Structure 1
Amino acid sequence: MLSVLAAVILWQTASEQGWSFILNFENVPTPLVVGNEFVAQLATSDFYTHVLVSLRRIAISYVLAAFLGILCGILMGRFRIMEDILSVYIEILRPIPAVAWIPLAILMLPTEESSIIFITFLGAFFPIVINTVAGVEQTPPLLLRAARSLGASNTAILRHVILPGALPSIVTGLSIGMGVSWFSLLAGEIISGQYGIGYFTWTAYTLVEYPRIIIGMLVIGALGTFSTMLVRKGAGPLLRWQSKEGHRA
């Protein structure tokens, strides 16, 4: 909290005095102006509509990305033929930024809503796949041989050996995927959306409403942080077996 307070004080000082060294604060509204505008936005129904629409898009695309990403990651990590088939597409498509997908998504999909969800899905999908593959491939061969020597089936090995060992990497991918999905969502909303917090922020920019720009940015940051925290907290019970040794004090 002290670091946040220090940042707000620095922001207030820079805006009041119009600092223009490296960063130009002459047109940046003060925290008080932004706070007053935020209170005004909270009294309107449109603001909540923008937030809820973005949350709905994130929920749909992220659930799909998590399911398909973990499934593809497990298949690629366990079967060489699946890795040979899928890794080529993933490595080619993964570097393409979300903005570059927008024209093709609009052409391929029937509605703007589905195109935004598709772009958001791609943002979350690739980090989840890559981290799942890494987690599955890092399973010690000694554990696999020990499980087979005890008569464990392939299904039992996957459930009791591979997945528990890969979970830390999978959770990391889920956390990264959530952050990237917000970035992708905002790119889609800015270009082709009619609602959403990204559309809200971009509209404020086009109308030169500086306080609303900062409100949109802060809300995006808060929603992204909160959703990532939910992912980590939700995965916490699955990682209780991990040793606490090596964690920072």
Structure 2
Amino acid sequence: MSGRWVLRAVSLAVGLALWQVLTVTGARVWLRFDQLPTVVEVAERFVQQVQVSEYYQDLGSSLARIGLGFLLAAVFGTALGVVVARSRVLEDLLQPLLEVVRPIPAIALVPIAILLFPTDEQGIVFITFVAAFFPILVSTRHAVRALPTIWEDAIRTMGGSRWQVLVKVVLPGTLPGVFGGLSVGMGVSWICVISAEMISGQFGVGYRTWQAYTVVDYPGVIVGMVTIGLLGWLTSSAVELLGRRATRWLPREARA
């Protein structure tokens, strides 16, 4: 395990070194690296940022929006995915509407969110919810339909009720698929919440990154991008860790 971490650290160091060399020398190899800030300039700007309270206020705003929107999407996406997969009547009733809305990019709903919700904050949470909702819904639906029917038949043969089938078979059996959808949903929700903050937010990492661009603070833009990447990585890793803990009773192949 230590060898893998060393390899990852070396990969990151090589990337940073290459970035520094290309920007310091002002290289123009089709791409114009002479316009980008150097690693040192970005590091200096990052040190300045972490000493200002606004930076942590932005972090808190973005994390709160992600947390609320993603939690709502996890609850409703999982529940609706199970219901649609288990009931033909509800599938016929809800599936057409869901399939019409699903291809619409969540960020394209920003104008609708501005019209629907009384505050920008609620609109951004709504965009985050929509972004995560459909990956979770689709993954859950496919996971339920992929369950071997012999599992349910075995429970029913022993006198199990529909509720026992749901609790003992469906929910545990779909956990790997559900957490796969949660992981994808987390990544997509970060993309959309940052975009929504740039368009209509007043606080948040996306808003601050766009503000840095408007005042030609390119080191600040890179700091915002790095912050977004770290937040996305940490939250996705947390979801994957929770998934491994929740499915540790499964064989390794099933967890994967």
Could you tell me the TM-score, scaled by structure 1's length?
Answer: 0.96
* Cα distance between partner residues in 2 of 1:181 and 1:87: 22
The alpha-carbon distance between structure 1 residues 91 and 77, as it changes in their structure 2 partners (threshold 3 A), is same
Letter of the aligned partner of 2:227 in structure 1? V
Aligned to 1:152: 160
- Secondary structure of the 2:249 match is coil
Runs of 4+ in 1 over 3 A off after TM superposition: 245-248
Q: What are the residue-to-residue correspondences of 1:51-200 with 2, within 5 Å?
A: 51-200=59-208
Shift of 1:22: 3.1
Give, as a single letter, the amino acid of the residue that structure 1 aligns with 2:70: Y
Change (3 A) 1:165 1:22: farther
CA deviation vs aligned residue, 1:179-199 (integer Å, no higher than 9, x gap): 111111011101100100000
Return the offset for 1:97: 1.5
Equivalent-residue separation in structure 2 for 1:86 and 1:21 (angstroms):
52
Q: Identify the residue that residue 41 of structure 1 maps to in structure 2.
A: 49
Aligned residue for 2:31, secondary structure, equals coil
- Hey, what's the Cα distance between the residues in 2 that align with 1:216 and 1:68? 31
What whole-Å deviation, never above 9, does each CA across 1:45-67 have from its counterpart, x for those lacking one?
Answer: 11111111000111111111100
Which consecutive unaligned segments of at least 5 residues does structure 1 have?
none
Q: Is the 8 A contact 2:183 2:239 kept in 1?
A: yes
Q: How many residues end up aligned between the 2 structures?
A: 248
- 3-state SS of the aligned residue for 2:74? helix
Give CA deviations for 1:11-55 in whole Å, capped at 9, x if unaligned. Answer: 011111122223221111111110000000111111111111000
- In angstroms, what is the RMSD of aligned CA positions? 1.4
CA distance in 2, matches of 1:152, 1:247: 26
Residues 19/246 of structure 1: CA separation in 2 closer, same or farther (3 Å cut): farther
The residue type paired with residue 60 of structure 1 is L
Cα distance between partner residues in 2 of 1:238 and 1:47: 34
Q: Percent identity?
A: 42
Q: 1:59-87, CA deviations, whole angstroms, 9 ceiling, x for partnerless residues?
A: 11111110001110010111111222222
Change (3 A) 1:20 1:84: farther
Residue matched to 2:4? none
Paired with 1:124 and 1:197, the residues of 2 have a C-alpha distance of 19
- Read off the aligned partner of 2:205 and give its amino acid letter: I
The amino acid that maps onto 2:63 is L
CA contact under 8 A between 2:147 and 2:173: conserved in structure 1? yes
Aligned residue type for 1:182: W
Write the distance in 1 (CA, Å) between the matches of 2:227 and 2:93.
Answer: 40
- The answer to whether residue 228 in structure 2 is matched with residue 206 in structure 1 is no
User: Which deviates more from structure 2 when the two are superposed, residues 236-245 or residues 139-148?
Assistant: 236-245
